[in-house]
Chains A and B, each alone.
Chain A
């Protein structure tokens, strides 16, 4: 699996955009980038994934750099309920597709 690195923590004001970065410099050309979040004591929740193009869904936007070595998850209007640990994952494309989680970014949305 591609190793991913994320800042350990970030703060964001409620109503502002939260931009969470992830470095995955060793990612292979056909490995996707996945984002999950985990709210305290719950299972990880899928947010979004992408390969090369930027992606958007009802929860977030994902911006992937052209060289695919990094990406940014954007929560456009953060709310208090977005306070969670966010994980960036780049699973191997063959075999078990198991996820290798890092320690993620702990996002705190401030009122």
Chain B
């Protein structure tokens, strides 16, 4: 257990539905990352927060995706109008200050039917 938690751990939804995932980073960590991992591939960067500011978004993050980190603590990732191609593991990681070691949560596995 790294101290990063994610909820839910698994989500099955029907195409076209909206889903929201939550990440609780290690409490003193001000940097938070979201990654997506499809079967057989390494994780791919989606977006990055420093405190509450979203400072970078990948081109993978289409208009249907939105992420927030309202008080610089937990973060949410919402996918609107889900598509089957959104099926993946969504990973959250956190770190602090100038440290580069990211600590990953267990991930949320999404299946879109």
* Residues 24-58 (chain B) with a chain A CB within 8 angstroms: 31, 33, 35, 40-45, 48, 55-56
Contact B107 A42 (CB under 8 A): yes
* Residues 31-78 (chain A) with a chain B CB within 8 angstroms: 32, 34, 36, 41-46, 49
Contact A42 B42 (CB under 8 A): no
Contact A44 B43 (CB under 8 A): yes
Bound-complex Cα distance A95 to B101 (A): 14
Q: How large is the interface on B (under 10, 10 to 19, 20 to 34, 35 or more residues)?
A: 20 to 34
Q: How many A-B residue pairs have CB under 8 A?
A: 63
Q: Which residue of B lies closest to A44 (CB)?
A: B104
Assuming A44-B104, A46-B101, is B48 touching A98 (CB within 8 A)?
Answer: yes
Q: Which residue of A lies closest to B100 (CB)?
A: A97
Q: Inside 8 A of B106's CB, which chain A residues have their CB?
A: 42-43
Bound-complex Cα distance A100 to B43 (A): 8
* Residues 1-37 (chain B) with a chain A CB within 8 angstroms: 2, 4, 31, 33, 35
Q: Which residue of B lies closest to A103 (CB)?
A: B42
Contact A101 B100 (CB under 8 A): no
Q: Which residue of B lies closest to A48 (CB)?
A: B101
Q: Which residues of A contact B (CB under 8 A)?
A: 32, 34, 36, 41-46, 49, 85, 87, 91, 93, 95-104
Q: Which residues of B contact A (CB under 8 A)?
A: 2, 4, 31, 33, 35, 40-45, 48, 55-56, 89, 91, 93, 95, 100-107, 109
A49-B100, A91-B100, A99-B45 are known contacts; what are 7 more A-B pairs with Cβ within 8 Å? A41-B89, A42-B106, A85-B42, A97-B102, A101-B35, A101-B44, A103-B42
